A and B are shown apart, each in its own frame.
Chain A
Amino acid sequence: MDTRAKGESPRQNSDAPKPTSKNTSPENDGQHDFDFEIGTWKTHLWRLVDPLTGSTKWVEYEGTSIVRKIWAGRANLVELVADGPAGHFEGLNLRLYNPQSRQWSLNFAGSKSGTLSPPTIGEFNNGRGEFFSQETLNGRAILVRFVLSDITPDSCRFEQAFSGDGGKNWEVNWIAIDTRVKGDA
């Protein structure tokens, strides 16, 4: 696990605003960190079918992500629709900015479940967003890490990894490369 994740308290006392070393001026407090993503993107997606089982079976999808601004950017909604040999996939992610902690929570739902997963929470540093959560997989507690990286005006990369050993080892199970659809505002 990286140093940021180690520094996070497992007690989940997220109610208390945490001190942060980030520049806290209004223009650099993190609330515009997702602005770059607003618009329409072509999404190339790879998904590990059975995470943390030793399986290396991946499935591939091609689709479209539409990212819409909410409340002038302090929240946003990603709508993903994709297809591949493994079938049709629909997901959404609603990101909320917490002005107290200056962190983002990423809330994912697939169209089948009708429920939001526990949020991954984190922030951007040096152009890279890292977000973490604790969830359960097949009844076991795992850690989840979601990374947004390689951000350019017209492309970015998303990577999700699980850890079944408290963060010592991570297995990537989701990779998405987004390419902006030209002509989209």
Chain B
Amino acid sequence: MKNFSVTFVACTLVIIGSVSRAHSQDTPKPARAATSRNGSHDFDFEIGTWKTHLWSLRRPLTDSTEWVESKGIVVVRGVWNGRANLVELVAEGPAGPFEFLNLRLYNAQTQQWSDYFATSKDGTFMKPMIGEFKNGRGEPRIRVVSKTHSQTMGARLGK
């Protein structure tokens, strides 16, 4: 459970940061076809209901070490026999309740997943994070965090 929670935090941090990509590289890079493995079941392990314990750095890349702790429930549902899935998170932090979702879509051509993030506060999807699993670890290919968006993260976490 803890591993899952930590992963979720990492994902959340990166997803927030990925918005800044809009200013520098609007066009997603052509995905490599080199990876010759079918990853369409890589999220199957996650289907179900999870208790989540979430830690997020309040102001990333500012040298601040102030972490915020939240607890909640995550429900992950499979779509199209696993080639897409929906993560619904409802949690409560120091500033009250908040709700997130992630929609993950598998691209059979590139064999990569795109991960779309939204909050109930905004009602809008951010630019997707795109990546794949290797050796049991899923990593995004895009990791850009700007100060501006880091600062907005506190608000997104319900603060």
Contacts and interface: CB of A to CB of B under 8 A. Distances in A.
Interface residues of B, number: 29
A31 to B, nearest CB: 9
Interface residues of A, number: 30
Given A75-B118, A96-B123, A116-B125, A111 B86 contact: no
Contacts of B110: 114
Given A74-B120, A99-B121, A115 B128 contact: yes
B90 interface: yes
Contact of B90 (A71, A112, A116): A71
Interface in B74-120: 77, 79-80, 83-84, 86, 88, 90, 99, 101, 103, 105-110, 112-114, 116, 118, 120
Given A96-B124, A111-B80, A71 B99 contact: yes
Given A70-B101, A90-B80, A114 B107 contact: yes
A68 interface: yes
A96 B125 CA distance: 8
Interface of B is mostly: strand
A115 B86 CA distance: 14
A75 B124 CA distance: 10
A71 B80 contact: no
The SS class assigned to the A binding surface is: strand
Given A75-B118, A113-B107, A114-B112, A119 B125 contact: yes
A77 interface: yes
A112 B84 CA distance: 11
Of listed B79, B108, B113, residue having the most chain A CB within 10 A: B79
Nearest to B78: A79
Contacts of B114: 114-116
Contacts of B109: 114
A51 B39 CA distance: 33
Contact of A116 (B83, B88, B108, B116): B116
A111 B101 contact: no
Contact of A79 (B80, B105, B107, B108): B80
A92 interface: yes
A98 interface: yes
Contacts of A81: 80
A70 B112 contact: no
A109 to B, nearest CB: 5
A111 B125 CA distance: 18
7 contacts: A75-B123, A92-B79, A94-B101, A97-B120, A98-B122, A103-B123, A114-B112
Interface of B: 77, 79-80, 83-84, 86, 88, 90, 99, 101, 103, 105-110, 112-114, 116, 118, 120-125, 128
Interface of A: 14, 68, 70-71, 74-75, 77, 79, 81, 90, 92, 94, 96-101, 103-105, 107, 109, 111-116, 119
Q: Nearest 6 CB-CB pairs, A to B?
A: A114-B107, A98-B123, A96-B123, A114-B105, A71-B99, A71-B120
